[in-house]
């Protein structure tokens, strides 16, 4: 990191090699579009490297970079005018995730099933499960209500369960 | 349940990273080194906005382009040839890292103008100016980010012009084969009655504006046994950084014994071969045009966007092009060609013709062999030909006049029309025409036979078979 702060090109490259794949996949989970995700990846690394001096090593560089990637991915999503359907906020509790019962997870199959989810479902599920966002944070980020986030998440889980059962 | 899934994801996250990103490091590193006024991004825009248009060609290691509406863009930082002058939106200014940009970058029918106009730039500063670093909301807590250094001052030459050039003449003895990798150099090969190979080369590089060190291009010649290899050795393959314009031109002229085998691989330079009678002649270009004249022997020509012109040759020809047009005139030999969007023009060929194209038109006249031609949306026109015709299009039209069939023809189109006339005696021809919804007619002497769906006319041994879906068919 010290070498990066001194502007060492090879140190930047090492960081890029280390983080490009997980960051790209994080962006893909939100955008589900290679071109857009590669744009985000490029912009995120450039932004992070340009501001590397302001990075305080309290947390890991990866976490810091991940925040940039997620924020930029969500920005890109907003530019696509992604609409999150406001769903009925009632009876959320009734929509259980029983569809997943008895499913044995497989990493690749699970990711492929997530990729198949409709955009709105996929984004909320990704933020909640992968990025540890609370529904309140998701609601703020996406400009939706907290209950909408919850209901969309439950529906996403239900659909995901159905996809996984199809695959088994 | 939720905990189980979340726990599974936490444990298996690496395995769930199933997507491989493209290697963006070169683009990122160049972006970090670039002056700040230009914010390169949006490869997708660039792909749509720049590529596929073919007015200008440059061998680009990377380029940052700023358009009139200030939409920035970057060309991926790897050495490759791009053909572009964007029509919409127009490029207003740019910071370009170029390896090579040919002097004659604009095609003949376009006004000559520099690809790269000068970006507003300070006069001879010690260090290029760095505007405030744009901070997006996405960057977490960047407290007073330090300005990013642009191009190191020591690496940039702020002289307004710089140039280098060289010329040389060389004689080689005992050469039977020449392999040339000329990149941006124009290559011109002619024959003489002497046993030696005369090689003349000249090139020049001229840069206007602020730029880093100019790459030196050395033309290397290597003789091994009876083979002469000629190629370009660039001192710095990463190219130069300029804010301004660059003009590079090069010429390789060879005079060789007529039996010399010649193989040329070029990028943007044009290639001309004249008078050779060697074992074979082979030319590959990206955007450079190919001109072949008076050659005997097998020819193999490939081009992406450059045109191919072959005239007065003997021998079988194999050609492929993407968007470049093909012109063949007075050929004694068979030819096989493929094209995507280029137009194909073949005149006076003593041999069989095999053509396949996508959207390009095909125009054939005076072909004395059999013709197999297929196109997707392109039209096929066949006039004054003497062989049998097998023509196939999807939406293009099939038209022709004065063709003399030997044994028959098979014509097929989905939505295109067929309109064909034959030079054969009417009594020699029989017809079997089929169409789903198109009209069918055969002008048979003084009478015209018209049918729908199917028209059968049995007279002579030469059978004309034609099928269309919605296209009309008219024969005479």
A39 vs B8: CB contact, 8 Å cut-off?
no
The single residue listed with the structure tokens 């068979």 is B334
Give DSSP secondary structure letters for chain A.
-HHHHTT-HHHHHHHHHHHHHHHHHHHHHHH--HHHHHHHHHHHHHHHHHTGGG--TTS-HHHHHHHHHHHHHHHHHHHTT--------TTGGG---GGGTTPPP-HHHHHHHHHHS-HHHHHHHHHHHTS---HHHHHHHHTS-HHHHHHHHHHHHHHHHHHHHHH-
d(CA B217, CA B205): 9
Strand partners, B321: B303, B339
A41 vs B139: CB contact, 8 Å cut-off?
no
Q: How far is residue A94 from each of residues A58, A134, B192, B301, measured CA to CA in Å?
A: 42, 20, 91, 69
Task: Please enumerate residues of B whose Cβ is less than 8 A from a Cβ of A.
Answer: 1-2, 4-6, 8-9, 12-22, 24-25, 27-29, 31-32, 41-44, 133, 135-146, 148-149
Closest chain A residue to the Cα of B144, Cα to Cα: A54
Residues of A in contact with B146 (CB under 8 A): 53-54
pLDDT band for position B437 (cuts 50, 70, 90)? confident
Average pLDDT estimate for A90-95: 39
* In contact, B76 and B97? CB cutoff 8 Å: no
B442-471 residue pLDDT tens: 998 888 899 888 999 988 899 999 998 888
Interface ipTM: 0.84
B139 vs A51: CB contact, 8 Å cut-off?
yes
B286-321 residue pLDDT tens: 888 999 999 999 999 998 888 999 999 999 999 998
pLDDT of residue B404: 94
pLDDT greater than 50 at residue B473: yes
Q: Which has the higher per-residue pLDDT, B142 or B290?
A: B290
Which phi and psi (to 5°) does residue A22 adopt? -65, -35
Average pLDDT estimate for B170-185: 90
B19 vs A71: CB contact, 8 Å cut-off?
no
d(CA B442, CA B451): 9
pLDDT greater than 60 at residue B48: no
Q: Which residues contact B272 (CB under 8 A, 6 or more apart)?
A: B186, B187, B188, B189, B290, B291, B292, B293
How far apart are the CA of B72 and the nearest CA of chain A, in angstroms? 13
B191-218 residue pLDDT tens: 999 899 999 988 776 665 555 555 566 7
B-interface mutation test, from A47, A98, A116, A130, most B Cβ less than 10 A away: A47
pLDDT greater than 60 at residue B161: no
The single residue listed with the structure tokens 């072909």 is B367
Closest CA to B260 of B234, B227, B292: B227
Residues of A in contact with B77 (CB under 8 A): none
d(CA A104, CA A86): 32
d(CA B216, CA A44): 36
B145 vs A54: CB contact, 8 Å cut-off?
yes
pLDDT of residue B135: 33
B87-139 residue pLDDT tens: 333 333 333 333 223 323 323 333 333 333 222 222 223 333 333 333 333 33
A51 vs B41: CB contact, 8 Å cut-off?
no
d(CA A48, CA A106): 33
Average pLDDT estimate for B389-402: 90
pLDDT of residue B367: 96
B16 vs A50: CB contact, 8 Å cut-off?
no
Provide the 8-state DSSP code for B213.
Answer: P
* In contact, B249 and B102? CB cutoff 8 Å: yes
A51 vs B142: CB contact, 8 Å cut-off?
yes
A75 vs B19: CB contact, 8 Å cut-off?
no
Give me the residue from B4, B24, B139 closest to A42, CB to CB: B24
pTM: 0.53
A130 vs B13: CB contact, 8 Å cut-off?
yes
Q: Which residues contact B128 (CB under 8 A, 6 or more apart)?
A: B35, B121, B122, B150, B151, B153, B156, B210
Average pLDDT estimate for A63-73: 89
Residues of A in contact with B136 (CB under 8 A): 47, 72, 75
pLDDT of residue B60: 36
Residue A87 burial (CB count, 10 A): 18
pLDDT of residue B324: 82
How far apart are the CA of A92 and the nearest CA of chain B, in angstroms? 15
* In contact, A145 and B28? CB cutoff 8 Å: no
Q: Which residues contact B422 (CB under 8 A, 6 or more apart)?
A: B402, B403, B404, B405, B429, B464, B475, B476
pLDDT of residue B6: 85
Q: Which has the higher per-residue pLDDT, B108 or A146?
A: A146
Structure tokens, B174: 């005992």
Query: What is the largest distance, in Å, between two alpha-carbon atoms of chain A?
Result: 56
d(CA A99, CA A163): 9
pLDDT band for position B40 (cuts 50, 70, 90)? very low
Query: What is the largest distance, in Å, between two alpha-carbon atoms of chain B?
Result: 92
């Amino acid at each position: 990191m010290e070498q990066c702060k001194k502007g060492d090109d090879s140190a930047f490259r090492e960081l890029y090699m280390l983080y490009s794949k997980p960051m790209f996949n994080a962006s893909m989970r939100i955008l589900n579009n290679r071109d857009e995700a590669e744009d985000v990846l490029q912009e995120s690394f450039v932004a992070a490297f340009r501001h590397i001096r302001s990075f305080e090593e309290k947390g890991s560089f990866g976490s810091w970079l991940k925040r940039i990637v997620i924020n930029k991915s969500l920005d890109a999503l907003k530019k696509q005018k992604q609409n999150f359907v406001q769903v009925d906020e009632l009876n959320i509790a009734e929509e259980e995730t029983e569809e997943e019962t008895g499913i044995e997870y497989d990493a690749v199959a699970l990711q492929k099933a997530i990729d198949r989810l409709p955009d709105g479902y996929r984004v909320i599920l990704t933020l909640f499960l992968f990025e540890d966002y609370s529904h309140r944070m998701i609601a703020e980020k996406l400009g939706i209500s907290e209950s909408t986030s919850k209901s969309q998440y439950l529906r996403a889980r239900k659909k995901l369960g159905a996809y996984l059962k199809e695959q088994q | 349940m939720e905990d189980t899934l979340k726990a599974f994801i936490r444990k298996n996250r690496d395995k769930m990273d199933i997507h491989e990103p493209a290697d963006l490091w070169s683009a990122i590193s160049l972006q970090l080194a670039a002056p700040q006024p230009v914010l390169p991004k949006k490869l997708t825009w660039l792909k749509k906005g720049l590529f596929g248009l073919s007015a200008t060609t440059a061998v680009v290691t990377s380029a940052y382009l700023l358009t009139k509406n200030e939409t920035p863009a970057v060309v991926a930082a790897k050495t490759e040839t791009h053909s572009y002058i964007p029509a919409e939106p127009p490029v207003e200014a740019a910071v370009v890292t170029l390896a090579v940009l040919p002097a004659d970058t604009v095609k003949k029918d376009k006004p000559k103008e520099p690809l790269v106009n000068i970006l507003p730039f300070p006069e001879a500063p010690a260090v290029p100016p760095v505007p405030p670093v744009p901070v997006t909301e996405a960057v977490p807590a960047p407290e007073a980010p330090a300005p990013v250094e642009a191009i190191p001052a020591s690496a940039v030459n702020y002289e307004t012009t710089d140039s280098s050039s060289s010329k040389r003449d060389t004689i080689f003895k005992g050469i039977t084969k020449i392999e040339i990798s000329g990149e941006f150099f124009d290559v011109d090969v002619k024959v003489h009655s002497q046993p030696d190979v005369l090689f003349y080369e000249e090139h020049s590089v001229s840069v206007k504006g602020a730029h880093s060190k100019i790459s030196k291009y050395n033309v290397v010649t290597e003789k091994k046994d009876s083979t002469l290899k000629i190629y370009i050795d660039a001192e710095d393959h990463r190219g130069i950084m300029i804010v301004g314009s660059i003009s590079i031109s090069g010429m390789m002229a060879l005079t060789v014994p007529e039996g010399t085998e010649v193989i040329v691989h070029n990028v943007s330079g044009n290639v001309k071969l004249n008078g050779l009678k060697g074992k074979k002649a082979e030319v590959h270009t990206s955007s450079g045009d190919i001109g072949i004249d008076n050659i005997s022997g097998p020819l193999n020509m490939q081009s992406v966007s450059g045109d191919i012109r072959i005239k007065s040759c003997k021998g079988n020809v194999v050609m492929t092009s993407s968007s470049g047009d093909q012109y063949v005139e007075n050929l004694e030999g068979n030819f096989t060609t493929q094209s995507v969007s280029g137009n194909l023009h073949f005149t006076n060929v003593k041999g069989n013709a095999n053509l396949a194209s996508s959207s390009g038109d095909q125009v054939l006249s005076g072909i004395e062999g059999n013709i197999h031609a297929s196109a997707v949306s392109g039209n096929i026109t066949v006039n004054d030909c003497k062989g049998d015709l097998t023509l196939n299009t999807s939406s293009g039209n099939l038209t022709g006049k004065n063709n003399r069939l030997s044994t028959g023809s098979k014509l097929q189109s989905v939505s295109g029309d067929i309109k064909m006339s034959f030079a054969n005696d009417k009594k020699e021809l029989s017809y079997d025409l089929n169409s789903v919804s198109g009209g069918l007619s055969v002008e048979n002497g003084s009478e015209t036979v018209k049918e729908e769906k199917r028209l059968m006319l049995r007279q002579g041994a030469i059978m004309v078979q034609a099928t269309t879906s919605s296209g009309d068919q008219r024969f005479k």
